Amino acid sequence: MISDIKVNKPEPIEYVVGTETFKGTDLKQAIEVLESGSPVLIKGFYSNGLSLIKELHTHLNKKLPNKTFLEQRKYRVEFHKLSSLILIQIIGHKIAVKRSPSIGWLEKLYPENSDFLLPFTKVQGLNSSWQWFLNGITIPVLRNKLHPYYGTYFPTRFEHLELFDNWLKRYDGPKKSAIDVGVGSGVLSLQMVKHGFQKVFGTDTNPNAIVGLTEFMGDTKLSRKIELDFGNLFGKWKKQTELIVFNPPWLPKLHNLDSIDEAIYYDENLFPDFFSEAKERLLPEGKLVLIFSNLAQITNVTKDHPIEKELAEGGRFKLEKCFKKRVKTASSKTKRDQHWRATEEVELWVLTNK
């Protein structure tokens, strides 16, 4: 039952008497409090939280190098640690400072708890997510807007989706069923339905993806074409199918981080487990499609390519075709140094049974 699934949401924090407050004046003192490991509560205006976040970035930029890809990851870890101590109060499902945004998630995600504290950055995330959810997001390969649920991965770049759409246009195999591993906000599943697949079985380990996509489809025709399961890899889907699609994380997990997003980083067991289970569920003449990137290699995170490794050592699949597409250069508005984007390519791997 979808109602039994507990969604991920920022953990509410109880107010502690004596918590240091920040009213927009002494930024330096507030940073010192954060670095001592103590929380700071935003008071007065919502903009005071924005000012303190900006000052924290300025402070960390002086302390930490932030040029290479790995340096940027380290910077983000430190920023996450300190910024999570910047708190703001919620009273009656509303942010308890002046000139705050109205965020529907506060009532939707916390129906039984109206008064609590949250990290300011989590409130920023809730606010952005609420705007995307309300207004929808245009995805070039889909007919209708996407309304991504809180905490669910959705694409902000589309080259890999265009690769998949072009492949689907040329696909002339059977379209009785397909499995979408890690369905996320549902883009790949929606693409397959658009191109004539009768039934798509989607899974995800993120409860928000399952709850959000179920809510998005409602009782429309889509809900009869896309069936979902909250589970790891293939979940409860045991039957063999003619097409398995997987858009896995593109970067290996280097170490444990509190804010690790499983849609972005993979652990060492993900690919071996996936290929092992995929072998059991792919029909003899079926196709296995993986959407990937050379991001980890060009940023020197790792030299290993998990799909190439499987083809070389796994003994289960052979390569039919690999399509590649250059990624557009980073926006001039992007503050991070992303020189590697010039050589980044997204990849669509089509494998068949040996």
Domain positions in the chain: 2-134, 159-353
Identify the sign of the CA torsion 143, 148, 153, 154.
positive
Query: In the beta sheet, which residues pair with residue 200?
Result: 178, 226
CATH, range 159-353? 3.40.50.150
Q: Are strands 86-91 and 116-119 parallel, antiparallel or unpaired?
A: antiparallel
pLDDT at 173: 93
pLDDT at 334: 39
pTM score, two decimals?
0.85
Per DSSP, the three-state class of 201 is strand
**Distance in angstroms (rounded) separating the CA atoms of residues 171 and 193:** 13
**Distance in angstroms (rounded) separating the CA atoms of residues 240 and 284:** 9
pLDDT tens sequence for the chain (354 residues): 666 889 999 999 988 877 889 998 899 999 999 999 999 999 999 999 999 999 999 999 888 876 777 778 888 889 999 999 999 999 999 999 999 999 999 999 999 999 999 999 999 999 999 999 999 999 999 989 999 999 998 988 899 999 999 999 999 999 999 999 999 999 999 999 999 999 999 999 999 999 999 999 999 999 999 999 999 999 999 999 999 999 988 777 765 544 435 557 768 889 999 999 999 999 999 999 999 987 767 776 677 889 999 999 999 999 999 999 988 764 444 344 455 556 788 999 999 999
pLDDT at 254: 63
pLDDT at 51: 95
Output the 3-class SS for 10-23.
CCCECCCCCCEEEC
Query: In the beta sheet, which residues pair with residue 98?
Result: 45
Phi and psi at 143, nearest 5°, equal -75, -40
pLDDT at 74: 84
pLDDT at 270: 92
Helix residue spans in 136-219 (DSSP H): 159-170, 187-194, 207-217
